[in-house]
Each structure stands twice: as C-alpha cells, then as structure tokens.
Amino acid sequence: MARAASRVDPAAGPGAAAGPRHPSQTHRETPGQHALGLALNLASAVAYSTSGFWTRLIPLDTWTILFWRGLFAGIFIGGVIVWRYGRRTLEIVRGIGAPGIAAACLSTFATIMYINAFRLTSVADVMIMNATTPFIAAVAGWLLFKEYERWSTLVASGVALLGTAVMVGGSVREGHLAGDLLAFGMALCMAGMMLLIRRHRETPMMPAACLSALLCPLFVWPLAHPAAATGTNMLYLVLFGVTQFGLGLLLLTLGARLISATETALIQAVEVPLGPLWVWFAFREVPPVPTWIGGAIIMAAVAGHVYSSRRPSASGPAPAA
C-alpha cells in the first residue's frame, strides 16, 4: 500500500495549483484504479452489513461485544500489516503521522457515537443521519480543498438518502436530541475520516485502521465484561471481529484512497439494505414492505452511480500504482 502510494503524487499534473478541482483531477486515477476503489468499498459495505447478524447471534451485552470485536479486528489488521510489509512493519507504522492518527481517532469516535446513538434515539434517526455522510463529505471537500463532486454522484447520494427515508419511514421519534446529535457527530467523523484517507493517500493508512480497531476496546473496557465470553460465543466474536469489523475497516481504508470521499460514503450506503437481508436469511425475520422498497431504491442509486462512473477520468491516465 505504501509502495503504491509513494509512486503517486496527489498534487502532480498540469494545473495542480489552479483553482477548484474535481477529485479525479486532484488524484488522477486511471479507470482501473477507480473501478478497484468502487469494488473495495462495495466489499467493505458487504462486510459491514453483517453487523446485525452477528449481534443477534451473540447473546452478550453491547460493550462486551464491542470490546472483543475491536480486539480481534485489530489483531487481524495487524497480522495483515506484518504479512504485507515484513521487516518494514515498524517503518510503515511510524509513517502514519498526524493524518493517520487523526483518521484512527475519527473512526473510533464514529464507532462509539454510533453505538451510543442507538441507546438515545431511534434506529431510524441514526440511519437517516448516516445517509447524510456523502453530502457532508462533498461540502467539506469543497470548503477545505475546493474540490467539486460530480453532479451524478450527488444525485445518486440524494436518491440513496430518499431510499433510506422510505426504509425507516414512520419510525422516527421526536424528543431525542442528544441521540440525534451523536448520530450526526458519527456522520461528521466518518466523512472526516474518508476525506483524510483520500487527501493523504500517500500515507500508509493500514496501521491507522489497526489503531482505530484497538482503540475501541480501550475505550469500552470500563463498561465491558470480557470474562463473560466463553466457548462458542468466543468463536463467534472472533469471526465477528475478523470478517465484519476487521475486514470491513481494512477494505474501506484501502478503497477510500482511490475514489472521492463522497463516492466512498455513497457506496457504503449499500450496508443499509443488506443488513436486514442477512437477518432474514439467518433468523427468518421478514423485513416489512418499506424496507424492501427503500432498499431497492438505495441499491438502484448505487448501481446507477457505478454504471455512470465507468467513463475514463477527465484528467487522463495516471502512473501505475
């Protein structure tokens, strides 16, 4: 990852210092790199979408699940780093710098706010706030870096937001300001993390993902009961940490470097309709009709964006990564 990044200068290319730029003009991906970014983020969303399945399967309190999930995810990502870089591991870890530490902290804060938001407000409110992440990323990218997002991406994000509203329609509760603020803070942190990874794509972010995963159990330790996990439940926790959080976070970290933060957030919206499907397959809980309709709208929005974004980047070919 670091080797590939070192060969691509985010500011390189003609007109690099000339006014507002499209994300593709800032980073100059080839169509193949952009397609890889979409694929990695789609795979990440699929991994993340299994959260409800694992949570239903493991009969432990939320804090204990978060503790072991974060610990096993961190061990998994750490193992991937050692396998990938070998003797250069320490060098790569030290290379994350301030951007990597900031991205790790934002990811950790987002996870903690996400869980606590569910305790203080409705699932519907949290999902709606989460669906605003592409717009937050687009606005922040323009304000901070003067990068314009494609209209097609913004339209697809709006359609995905509409699909989320259809899925949770009628279940939004009022009077839960604290929980809604936490959910909005989660969306802000996720958008910020995606922007950092994208903007500092030359920085090795896999160690930042590992740090983020390991910070979660550190923060929830006082509220967790680690000794309560035994036998089969411990096996489930290992699988939960590796396949859902570890793999999802690792793929997100790799994929977010190759497409804009707005696109990353849009692709991650696939997690919303997929989540109920896993629970339906495993526990025979049939989702209500609005979930099917809203989920179909979200999937159509993402599929439409993926199809429309297949055209080559306007900035031309980039150096091989």
pLDDT digits (tens, 9 = 90+) for 65-90: 999 999 999 999 999 999 999 999 99
- Average of per-residue pLDDT values in the chain: 83
Find tokens 């035994």 and name the residue. 230
pLDDT tens-digit readout, 287-321? 888 888 988 999 999 999 988 877 544 333 333 33
Q: Where are the domains of the chain?
A: 31-221+237-308
State residue 80's pLDDT score: 96
Q: Which helix (H) or strand (E) holds 95?
A: none
For the chain, the first-to-last Cα distance in angstroms comes to 9
Question: CA–CA separation, 208 vs 202, rounded Å?
Answer: 13
Question: CA–CA separation, 123 vs 288, rounded Å?
Answer: 15
Distances 72 to 48, 79, 158, 243 between C-alpha atoms, Å: 15, 10, 35, 10
Question: CA–CA separation, 132 vs 117, rounded Å?
Answer: 15
State residue 316's pLDDT score: 37
**Structure tokens given for 26:** 């800032």
Q: How many residues in the chain?
A: 321
3-state secondary structure at position 84? helix
Choice among 13-17, 135-139, 168-172, 231-235 with the minimum mean pLDDT: 13-17
pLDDT band at 244 (very low <50, low <70, confident <90, very high): very high
pLDDT mean over 160-170: 81
Question: CA–CA separation, 215 vs 207, rounded Å?
Answer: 12
State residue 311's pLDDT score: 55
pLDDT band at 146 (very low <50, low <70, confident <90, very high): confident
3-state secondary structure at position 186? helix
State residue 175's pLDDT score: 53
CB of 107 within 8 A of CB of 245?
A: no
Contacts of 169 (CB under 8 A, 6+ apart): 124, 290, 294
Choice among 22-31, 218-227, 285-294 with the minimum mean pLDDT: 22-31
**Structure tokens given for 200:** 């500092």
Whether pLDDT at 13 is above 70 = no
pTM of the predicted model as reported, rounded to 2 decimal places: 0.80
Question: CA–CA separation, 47 vs 51, rounded Å?
Answer: 8
What are residue 122's phi and psi, to 5 degrees?
A: -80, 160
pLDDT band at 44 (very low <50, low <70, confident <90, very high): very high
Contacts of 83 (CB under 8 A, 6+ apart): none
Whether pLDDT at 42 is above 90 = yes
Give the best-scoring range by mean pLDDT among 4-13, 24-33, 39-48, 129-138: 39-48
Question: CA–CA separation, 75 vs 156, rounded Å?
Answer: 36
